Amino acid sequence: MVRPERRTRSDFVAVALILVAVVSAAAVIWWRSDARATVSEPASEQPPVASAPAGAPTSVQELWRAPSPATPVPVVADSTVVTGDGGTVLGRAPGTGREHWRYSRDLPLCTVGGEWDRAVAVYRKAANCSEISSLRGGTGVRGPARNSDTQFGTRLLSDGKYLTATGDRVLESWRSDLVRTQQYGIMPALKNAGNNLRRPDCTYTSTAVGSERVAVIEDCPSDPTKRLSVLKTKPEDDEEPEEVTTAVLGGSEATAVAVSTKQTVVYLRDRGSIVVYANTTGGIEAEYPLPAEGTGIPESGVEAVAADRVWTVNLRPVPEPEQQRAARSIATSLHRFDSTITEQSVLHGLATAGPNRPFRVAVLDDEQYQQVKDKIDDIAGATFGGLLYWHNGATTVALDAATFAPLWTVPGTLGPGTLFGGELLLPVPEGIAVVDRFTGARQRVIPVDRQGYDGPISMDSAGPTLLEQRGGTLVALG
């Protein structure tokens, strides 16, 4: 029989010391971990869905305000208003500002954006804005997270499918699970020495996104003026950027306004023009004079109509036999909305159109669009487009989303505005102007006392609540 192993006092002391060491190490790791420095207080249930407004109000008053320097524009995610201040992201009830959920870290926020019904919070570390967290808008429950090479001063731009984080030396795009789909520029720790070194000395001064494309204005020492480069948001290899086109522009004060699959529109301030470039060649397709007003030109490009659609009906040239039939069919469908639309007027307009510059036949509201959508879809060469609103620092400009042609301008505004209850609202010094979205004609002004604030304003809404981002403060009106 084997004699049982005898344990000495020294054995017990050694085991105790090992346990103390393990516990101490675990405590140190926890003390230094992100988990200890994170406070997550999600909501127990989804908030009620806010009802859509019937129209613009006749008057408004301030409902609440909150510091939110991390949101450059109002962020609404799943019927919740999101604010960001210090290291804390809060989900708030639109009408009262009451805290619905909270997420906080012992790191300062770089910025907060919204996409996929989630708030996306970007936190700052010593070298860059590398800590990315996503939070479900309705509850604040944590979703996907990632580390990135995002720079200080970044903004999050959404094209409806991807988020792009801007930067003056590097920018990158993410899909809904926060997996990176593309990275462009010189990274702090370059893994692939051959990656994107065609123009290593360039800096990026303006970015716009749309239709799974990123348009970036580059300032390159070897170029006489600014350069426009258009990238795929999701290239074949996320380690290798995929340029659609790149071309030197005809001006040195350039802002990327908007980009689609086929075209990019740039504001050349020193030429006083909005210029449309073809993505296939980099050549100019159209140029439209625009007064070079304002000083605070935004780098983020346009704000697209989303909540309450405005539709343009566009017609591209088709072979001669189909052209006559297309003109007759489209006139028959649209004449009841506008008596000036006839077969002859459509044929006349088609004579001025090109393959990448369709003729804009009509502008429809959403109810009209629903009535004729199926008929128009069957007409050769006919497509639908929306309206985009852009602010150049002093003037709001409506652009046809299909052609990027300016449709109208409203000078003296403080931002691009928002659609609310089927009406376009624009911030102006005396309050909020209600504007005809088809013509830009000012109909009336809703007075707003901004208590001396006269800077730029970005607007949005959550149900019947209007939101104004005034610098580092978010204000709710109703």
- Position 387 scores a pLDDT of 84
pLDDT per position as a tens digit, 198-246: 788 899 999 999 889 999 999 999 999 999 999 999 998 877 889 999 9
pLDDT of residue 295: 47
Could you identify the residue written with the tokens 């992100």?
A: 34
* 103 bridge partner residues: 40, 89
Contact 396, 433 (CB under 8 A): no
Which tops the pLDDT comparison, 404 or 112? 112
Query: For residue 3, what pLDDT band results from cuts at 50, 70 and 90?
Result: low
State residue 30's pLDDT score: 44
| pTM (predicted TM-score) | 0.82
Cβ contact 94:53 at 8 Å: no
pLDDT value of position 357: 76
pLDDT given at position 24: 57
The set of residues, in sequence order, having a beta carbon less than 8 Å from that of 119 and lying 6+ positions away, is 75, 77, 82, 89, 91, 112, 113, 134, 135, 137
Does the pLDDT of residue 301 top 70, yes or no? no
Residue 315, strand partner residues: 359, 382
Q: What percent of the chain has pLDDT over 90?
A: 58
CB contact at 8 A, 300 and 208 = yes
> What's the average model confidence in pLDDT over 300-315?
64
Q: Cα–Cα distance between 90 and 88 in angstroms, integer? A: 6
Res. 12: pLDDT tops 70: no
What sign has the CA pseudo-torsion 242, 248, 253, 254? Answer: negative
| Cα separation, 433 vs 443, whole angstroms | 7
DSSP character at residue 191: S
pLDDT at 68: 98
CA–CA dist 417, 466 (Å, integer): 11
b/e 454-472 (16+ beta carbons within 10 angstroms → b): eebbbbbbbbbbbbbbbee
Give the integer Cα–Cα distance in Å for 351 and 360. 12
- Per-residue confidence band for 311, with pLDDT thresholds at 50, 70 and 90: confident
Segments in 164-242 forming alpha helices (H): none
Is the pLDDT at 356 greater than 70, yes or no?
A: no
Spatial separation of the C-alpha atoms in residues 357 and 383, rounded to whole Å:
12
Q: Taking phi first (over 0 means left), then psi (-120 to 50 degrees means alpha), and beta for anything else, what does residue 140 get?
A: left
What angle, 0 to 180 degrees and rounded to 10, lies between the N-to-C axes of helices 320-334 and 343-350? Answer: 130
Say whether pLDDT at 141 is over 90. Answer: yes
Residues 6+ apart with CB under 8 A from 15: none
pLDDT tens track for 143-171: 999 999 899 999 999 988 999 999 999 99
Q: Which residue has the higher pLDDT, 362 or 109?
A: 109
Tens-digit pLDDT profile for residues 280-298: 999 999 999 986 555 455 5
Which segments of 279-413 are extended strands (E)?
284-289, 303-304, 310-315, 359-365, 382-391, 395-400, 406-411
Q: Name the residue type at position 136.
A: R
Quote the pLDDT of residue 6: 57
Better pLDDT: 169 or 305: 169
